[in-house]
């Protein structure tokens, strides 16, 4: 699936002497030359960053905002080490906090500072942080509510007619409350731009917001917050600031910062932020007059909910007062969830999950809205499905423990995977363990085995009830899947399709006519989506078994075993998929019994019934069958489960003996292919060993087994099976006969022979040195 790419060669560029210096001069010192040229110099230097000897000199006023805009990005790409960022911060903060600063300088500085702070918060001292926060709070709350004049208009022809227009809400009505990002104006004044910028960076700025203190006066005694890792500045008295005192932080307080802390009315960023978010949520009740505004509206609403969530996480006392806002938003949203609203709902649910417990709010309705309504409608939408997956993974534990979202709606979630298996395989691998519990395990396994079928069903469904138009059209053109589309529209098939595309689990693990559904959807098996799904599914199935065995719940495993027998023959018709899944199930079978040997007792009837019919060995099920036979031989011992009585052993023996004779007859028939012959002889060897093992534990059976083995040997001395396999089989038979002639030792020898199936597969005894030694000793004893 991946395209190869040539790796860029190691680039030992040799730059002409003085080139770097000249570029630096152009960027840092010069104010000549076209802006584009200077921009290019800056861009080139950024490409080469981080690089020593590329440092900006300290800024000397007056500074051209344009030049600053070339320099600042370069500082950040240079990094902390070479960019000398720390030394420039005080000046930057001055430009932000000083009233007299040019607005462009403030804007440039603010956005740069936001980025720097997000990546390396420790660069700012608590006081610097607070000063900027206060400034931001002021912008959030007090931006101009009049529309700015057209900055591109020339001098007004009639100077008397300067009309001051108020700003408006998105629906065209005059704005009556403070300015926000959603307030519409023709052009924006500088403080309005700063308002917008402040809101945009708010969430990231508040992330490390433990430094925000509720301030009782202009500034207060710094009580170190319980989470704050940074040392506190010591403010000695409530009316003064310790300027000297050798405190390292005190040295960083530039006059501008001080003036902010001392003289201005102290705005609490936290409070203003909340007011702002609540106002945005309010403003979004209005319908946007112009459609492109709708995009901004939705994105701002999303941001506002996330910011509110952040604020409440920082200060839990805010929750009771502001939870109703979010609750009201949710009830406003109910019903049809378009692409935007769906994603906002995710933010709402995040808020509810984080804070709902504080107000004893039941998250179930919101969960249902998301996991049922939204997922059913939007599983094919790349943005919505991605957000849902991120949400599920971020909140997996909480969703699993405090809600029933996963246990109820996992079938719905599988649609996301079935539609875009390439994108979400890793995510689902991470999510799957959370979906599995004692109640859901069986249904989950059934669903996993049917994922390619689900993929096909969704594809057919899309052609009829268009979820994604381009996919539907393209599918129609391709001509693949015509029968499936016809089938899904037929009345008598509705229950089948309803089942595979169900929203909720818990209404039955599977259906009787699953095979029919598979055949109805067969013509979509070559569709790329279905193919990809089929390739990816075995990974998840393997993970299922790993999870279930790790969870160690016997009540689950004991129900999984018969399921594996059932599904072995019931898989969607993609040959490679069937082979892979059968192989996985066969291998996992060994692990299941290794972990829970008692299965051999509890499922005796299932196993004997399964192994009784050699039909269960055909069509790719050989591995499973052989493993099961081996398991019978291995685990029917009282050391594994005390309930392995003589009766049980006799029952298994009878079953094995029947199969052995039947197989022997089958082997005698001509026409078996080499591969079939090899499989059959392998099975025979395993069968004979299993018989011997069972007999060794119940010595009354030994004569019968000896008889059986001898008969088989006789039947195959001249059979049609190829020579090599035959010889191996016969060799094994005679070994077993010899071992069984020593009844008291037989059990020990046979159990030592096969610690695991891989050793047993090894038919050459020479490899088992221990065994050779024992046998030699025994033989020498017997000969004496």
Partner 1 sequence: GRWFGKHTCSEMVYCFLVHTVTPGPCRLLFSAFFGCQEHDDSSDDSLRAKRKNHLAEVSQQVQSEFSFRSSTTGTKYHTDGLSEEQLAAKEIGMFHLPQGCPFNDSKVVLWLTQAKCGYVFIMDPDENRMLAESILNLLVRLVDAYVKKQDEAPAQMLIKADRMAAIIHQFLPNGQVKDPKQKQFRCMILDG
Q: Which of residues 67-106 bind partner 1 (CB under 8 A)?
A: 69-70, 72-73, 76-77, 79-81, 83
Residue 429 in the binding site for partner 1 (CB under 8 A):
no
Query: Exactly one of 295, 357, 362, 566 binds partner 1 (CB under 8 A); which one?
Result: 295
Q: Is 20 a binder of partner 1 (CB under 8 A)?
A: no
Q: Which of residues 24-63 bind partner 1 (CB under 8 A)?
A: 34-37, 39-40, 42-43, 46-51
Residues in 573-592 that interact with partner 1 by CB under 8 A: none
Closer to partner 1 by Cβ: residue 201 or 326: 201
**Residue 10 vs 717, nearer CB to partner 1:** 10
Q: Which of 133, 211, 300, 484 binds partner 1 (CB under 8 A)?
A: 300
- Site for partner 1 (CB under 8 A): which residue of 4, 163, 397, 784? 4
415 binds partner 1 (CB under 8 A): no
Among 204, 247, 372, 778, binds partner 1 (CB under 8 A): 204
Look up residue 686 and give its two tokens: 């395993």
DSSP readout, 471-504? HHHHHHHHTTTHHHHHHHHSGGGHHHHHHHT-S-
- E-assigned strands of 594-705? none
The residue among 238, 193, 230, 195 whose CA lies nearest residue 211 is 230
Taking CB under 8 A as the criterion, the residue among 114, 280, 435, 590 binding partner 1 is 114
- Restricting to residues 115-154, name those near partner 1 by CB under 8 A: 115-116, 118-120, 151-152
Asked if 427 is part of the footprint of partner 1 (rule: CB under 8 A), the reply reads: yes
Read off the tokens for 107.
Answer: 């804007």
Kind and range of the H or E element at 550?
helix 528-551
Could you tell me how many residues of this chain bind partner 1 (CB under 8 A)? Answer: 91
- DSSP assignment of 620-634, as one string? T-HHHHHHHHHHHHH
Beta bridge partners of 166: 146
Per the listing, tokens 């509720």 go with 214
Query: Closest approach of Cβ 248 to partner 1, in Å?
Result: 23
Which lies closer to partner 1 via its Cβ, residue 306 or residue 501?
Answer: 306
The region of 107-115, 171-179, 211-219, 755-763 touching partner 1 under the rule CB under 8 A is 107-115
Can residue 287 be called a binding residue for partner 1 (CB under 8 A)? no
How far CA 85 is from CA of 103, 108, 112, 184, 332, in Å, comes to 22, 15, 11, 36, 46
* Nearest distance in Å: CB 299, partner 1: 4
**Which string of x and - marks every residue 531-550 that binds partner 1 (by CB under 8 A)?**
-x------------------
Q: What is the rounded distance in angstroms from the CA atom of residue 362 to the CA atom of residue 402?
A: 10
**Residue 474 or residue 498: which is nearer to partner 1 going by CB?**
474
Q: Is 298 in the site for partner 1 (CB under 8 A)?
A: yes
Q: Minimum CB separation from partner 1 for residue 14, in Å?
A: 10
Q: Does 172 bind partner 1 (CB under 8 A)?
A: no
Spell 727-751 as b/e; 16+ CB within 10 A means b: ebbbebbebbbebbebeeebbebbe
Residues 451-510 that bind partner 1 (CB under 8 A): 468, 470-471, 473-475, 477
What distances in angstroms separate CA 769 from CA 139, 705, 748, 760, 766, one per listed residue? 84, 26, 15, 14, 6
Residues 6+ apart with CB under 8 A from 716: 664, 667, 668, 726, 729, 730
Strand residue runs (E) in 50-184: none
Q: Measured from the CB of residue 86, what is the shortest distance to partner 1 in angstroms?
A: 12
Q: Identify the CA nearest to 352 among candidates 393, 402, 386.
A: 402
Q: How many residues does the chain have?
A: 784
Residue 477, token pair as written in the block = 């053109």
Residue 29 carries which DSSP code? Answer: I
8 or 244: CB nearest partner 1: 8
Q: Is 292 in the site for partner 1 (CB under 8 A)?
A: yes
Nearest approach in angstroms of CB 358 to partner 1 is 22
Q: Which of residues 302-361 bind partner 1 (CB under 8 A)?
A: 302-303, 306, 340, 343
**CA–CA distance, 342 with 373 (Å, rounded to integer):** 9
């Amino acid at each position: 699936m991946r395209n190869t790419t040539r790796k860029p060669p190691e680039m030992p560029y040799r730059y002409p002497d003085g080139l770097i210096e000249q570029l630096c001069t152009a960027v840092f010192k010069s104010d000549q030359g076209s802006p584009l040229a200077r921009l290019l110099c800056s861009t080139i230097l950024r490409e080469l960053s981080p690089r020593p000897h590329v440092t900006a000199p300290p800024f000397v006023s007056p500074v051209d905002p344009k030049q600053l805009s070339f320099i600042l990005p370069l500082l950040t790409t240079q990094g902390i080490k070479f960019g000398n960022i720390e030394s420039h911060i005080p000046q930057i903060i001055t430009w932000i906090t000083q009233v007299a600063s040019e607005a462009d300088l403030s804007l440039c500085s603010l956005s740069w500072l936001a980025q720097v702070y997000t990546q390396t918060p420790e660069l700012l001292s608590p006081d610097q942080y607070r000063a900027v926060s206060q400034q931001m709070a002021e912008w959030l709350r007090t931006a101009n509510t009049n529309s700015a004049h057209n900055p591109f208009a020339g001098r007004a022809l009639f100077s008397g007619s300067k009309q001051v227009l108020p700003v408006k809400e998105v629906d065209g009505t005059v704005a009556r409350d403070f300015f926000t990002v959603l307030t519409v104006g023709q052009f924006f004044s500088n403080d309005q731009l700063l308002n917008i910028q402040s809101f945009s960076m708010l969430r990231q700025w508040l992330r490390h917001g433990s430094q925000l203190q509720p301030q009782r006066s202009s500034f207060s005694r710094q009580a170190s917050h319980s989470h704050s890792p940074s040392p506190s500045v010591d403010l000695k008295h409530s009316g003064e600031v310790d300027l000297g005192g050798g405190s390292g932080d005190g040295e960083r307080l530039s006059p501008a910062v001080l003036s902010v802390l001392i003289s201005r009315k102290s705005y609490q960023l936290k409070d203003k932020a909340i007011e702002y978010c609540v106002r945005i949520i309010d403003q979004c009740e209005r319908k946007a007059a112009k459609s492109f505004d709708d995009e901004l509206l939705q994105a701002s609403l999303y941001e506002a909910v996330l910011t509110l969530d952040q604020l409440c996480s920082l200060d839990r006392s805010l929750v009771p007062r502001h939870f109703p806002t979010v609750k009201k938003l949710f009830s406003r949203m109910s019903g049809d969830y378009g692409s935007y609203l769906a994603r906002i709902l995710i933010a709402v649910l995040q808020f509810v999950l984080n804070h709902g417990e504080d107000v004893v709010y039941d998250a179930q309705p919101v969960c249902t809205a998301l996991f049922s309504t939204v997922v059913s409608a939007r599983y094919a939408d790349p943005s919505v499905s991605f957000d849902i997956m991120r949400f599920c993974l971020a909140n997996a534990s909480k969703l699993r423990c405090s809600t029933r979202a996963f246990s109820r709606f996992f079938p719905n979630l599988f649609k996301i995977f079935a539609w875009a298996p390439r994108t979400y395989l890793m995510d689902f691998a991470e999510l799957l363990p959370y979906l599995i519990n004692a109640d859901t395990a069986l249904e989950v396994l059934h669903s996993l085995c049917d994922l390619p079928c689900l993929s096909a069903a969704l594809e057919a469904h899309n052609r009829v009830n268009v979820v994604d138009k381009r996919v539907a059209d393209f599918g129609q053109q391709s001509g693949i899947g015509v029968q499936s589309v016809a089938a899904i529209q037929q009345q008598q098939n509705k229950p089948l399709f309803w089942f595979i595309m169900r929203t909720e689990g818990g209404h039955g693990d599977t259906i009787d006519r699953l095979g029919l559904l598979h055949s109805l959807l067969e013509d979509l098996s070559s569709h790329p989506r279905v193919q990809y799904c089929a390739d990816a599914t075995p990974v998840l199935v393997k993970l299922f078994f790993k999870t279930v065995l790790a969870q160690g719940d016997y009540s689950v495993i004991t129900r999984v075993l018969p399921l594996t027998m059932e599904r072995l023959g019931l898989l969607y018709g993609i040959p490679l998929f069937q082979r892979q899944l059968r192989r996985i199930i066969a291998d996992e079978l060994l692990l299941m019994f290794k972990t829970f040997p008692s299965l051999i007792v509890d499922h005796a009837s299932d196993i004997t019934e399964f192994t009784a019919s050699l039909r269960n060995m055909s069509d790719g099920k050989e591995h499973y069958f052989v493993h099961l036979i081996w398991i019978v031989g291995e685990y029917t011992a009282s050391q594994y489960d005390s309930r392995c009585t003589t009766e049980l052993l006799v029952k298994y023996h009878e079953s094995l003996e029947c199969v052995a004779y039947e197989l022997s007859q089958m082997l005698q028939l001509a026409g078996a292919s080499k591969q079939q012959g090899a499989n059959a002889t392998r099975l025979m060897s395993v069968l004979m060993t299993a018989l011997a093992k069972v007999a060794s534990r119940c010595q009354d059976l030994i004569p019968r087994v000896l008889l059986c083995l001898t008969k088989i040997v006789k039947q195959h001395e001249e059979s049609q099976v190829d020579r090599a396999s035959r010889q191996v089989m016969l060799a094994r038979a005679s070994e077993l006969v010899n071992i069984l002639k020593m009844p008291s030792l037989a059990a020990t020898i046979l159990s030592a022979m096969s610690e695991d199936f891989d050793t047993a597969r090894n038919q050459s005894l020479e490899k088992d040195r221990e065994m050779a030694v024992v046998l030699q000793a025994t033989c020498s004893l017997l000969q004496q």
